[in-house]
Amino acid sequence: MADDKTPPGDDNPYTQTYVVKAGDSLSKIAKQYYGDASLYDKIFQANRDVLKDPNKIQVGQKLRIP
Amino acid sequence: MKKQFVWLLAALMTVMLVGCANDKVPAQQAIAGAEAALASVRDAAQKYAPDTLQTVDAQLAQIKDMFAKGDYKSVMANIGSLNSAISSLKDTATAKQAEAEQAMAKAKDAWSGVSNDVPKMVAAIQSRVDILSKSGHLPKGVTKDALNSAKSGLDSMKSAWNDAMSAASGGDYSTAMSKAQAVKDQGAQIMQSLGMASG
């Protein structure tokens, strides 16, 4: 039943979200939520509908944290 | 004189026998009527008012015992009380059946929402557990015990969810909803332990 890959654009109400603040990066966000900055790609993949480049995130963007 | 006495005695005995037979038939009919009334409500009573049904059955058994002993007057004296008890049992069983059906319909309505909701909760938790399992270090506030607990909790949630779905497939939406709520409660605790509150 469970699928650990949330398809981009698929809104699961139980998936945690995070609003990007000044100075944030996907690595920093991954460190905060996963304890491991190298897992930033998980966040990128979960937000392909709003992120084209993992290095380019904007303040105020709401990101899914799978 | 003796002949007359014998005839008189025979006549008296005939009157008594006829009298008894006259008492027996109404008593027999009264019991048959009560049994038929009870039979019509037995299934519902068994399900929704089993204790009261047991009391009424005992009352009927007593009256049948009176009949078996030839005490037809006692049968007729007590049949009214039995019929009232059967009528009351019917009312109780009918009311409880209606209550149960209403609760079931409500649960069925609620099920359609929950049947979409719970799999999403499980998927979100599974995703986080999988990612944290790959992490070199756990995030602040999440312990190794919490993660291990979340893994076993997730298995338990899936098993309970399967039970809920089986109950729903069988039409028992009340049980399905009760199990689904337990799954959601457990999921909420796991999410809390993994720091998954939205923010």
* Percent of chain A residues topping a pLDDT of 90: 83
By the 8 A CB rule, do B132 and B138 touch? yes
A36 in contact with B, Cβ within 8 Å: yes
Q: For residue B134, is pLDDT > 70? A: yes
- The pLDDT of residue B5 is 81
Provide the domain limits for residue B144.
Answer: 102-193
Question: What number of other Cβ atoms are within 10 A of residue A1's Cβ?
Answer: 12
List CB contacts (< 8 A) between B119 and chain A: 1-2
Q: pTM above 0.90?
A: no
Same domain, B122 and B79: no
By the 8 A CB rule, do A37 and A28 touch? yes
Q: Which of B61, B80, B98 is the last residue of a domain?
A: B98
* Angle separating helix axes B144-169 and B72-134, nearest 10 degrees: 140
Q: Is B70 left (phi over 0), alpha (psi -120 to 50) or beta?
A: left
**Range from B30-39, B132-141, B190-199 carrying the lowest mean pLDDT:** B190-199
List CB contacts (< 8 A) between A31 and chain B: 139
- The pLDDT of residue B7 is 81
The mean pLDDT of B170-186, rounded to a whole number, is 96
Q: For residue A4, is pLDDT > 70? A: no
Element containing residue B82 per DSSP (H, E): helix B72-134
Which CATH topology does A16-65 take? Membrane-bound Lytic Murein Transglycosylase D; Chain A (3.10.350)
Q: For residue A8, is pLDDT > 80? A: no
ipTM of the complex: 0.88
Closest residue by Cα to residue B162 from B181, B176, B178: B176
Total of domains in chain B:
2
Q: What residue type is assigned to position B185 of the chain? A: D
Same domain, B84 and B108: no
Q: Nearest C-alpha of chain A: how many angstroms from B183?
A: 14
Domain residues of chain A, as ranges? 16-65
What CA–CA distance (Å, rounded) separates B82 from B31? Answer: 9
Interface residues on B facing A, Cβ-Cβ cutoff 8 A: 117, 119-132, 134-140, 142, 154, 158, 161, 187, 191, 195-199
For A37-57, how does the pLDDT look when each residue is reduced to its tens digit (9 = 90+)? 999 999 999 999 999 999 999
Q: Nearest C-alpha of chain B: how many angstroms from A50?
A: 18
For B10-48, how does the pLDDT look when each residue is reduced to its tens digit (9 = 90+)? 777 776 666 666 799 999 999 999 999 999 999 999 999
The two three-digit tokens of residue B27, written as one number:
């008593």
How confident is residue A6, by pLDDT bands cut at 50, 70 and 90?
Answer: very low
Cα torsion angle, B10, B11, B14, B16, sign: negative
What CA–CA distance (Å, rounded) separates B31 from B79? Answer: 7
For B50-71, how does the pLDDT look when each residue is reduced to its tens digit (9 = 90+)? 999 999 999 999 999 999 999 9
List CB contacts (< 8 A) between A4 and chain B: 123, 126-127, 129-131
Residue A2 has its nearest CB partner, among B123, B132, B197, at: B123
- The pLDDT of residue B168 is 97
